Amino acid sequence: MRSRSYMFTNKRHNEFSIMSSVLGVISVISLVLVIWFSYRTGGAPNARYGAVCVLALVFAVTGIILGVAGRMQRDAFYFFSYLGITLNVIALFIISGILYAGAYL
């Protein structure tokens, strides 16, 4: 017969990690939308799209810092820290790809 044992813990998801994940989702979604809208307009330059990319860059850097700060805390779950760091690094790669394509292609 299976024993019913419960494991009680005081671990929790910290706010830094959750905010890092939220900033990562916002950055990735906004960059995908910028690419989509730029494609639909035939690649015509628009200053608004550039402003969204700069804001996404700020969000991504802030999200990485918050994710690392959340990962460094003890007695916490680390799922949202890893998720936030991953999403923000993906956003940085997308921004790097946009800059590379704009400069060399």
Q: Is 88 helix (H, G, I), strand (E, B) or coil?
A: helix
At 52, list the tokens: 């969204």
Alpha carbon separation from 25 to 2, 31, 32 (Å, rounded): 41, 10, 11
Would you state the pLDDT for residue 1? 59
pTM of the model: 0.87
Percentage of residues of the chain with pLDDT beyond 90: 72
- State the DSSP string of 16-62: HHHHHHHHHHHHHHHHHHHHHHHHHTTT---HHHHHHHHHHHHHHHH
Provide the 8-state DSSP code for 81. H
The tens digit of pLDDT for each residue in 55-94 reads: 999 999 999 999 999 999 988 899 999 999 999 999 999 9
Instruction: List the domain boundaries for the chain.
Output: 15-104
Indicate the helix (H) or strand (E) that contains 65.
Answer: helix 47-72
Would you state the pLDDT for residue 61? 97
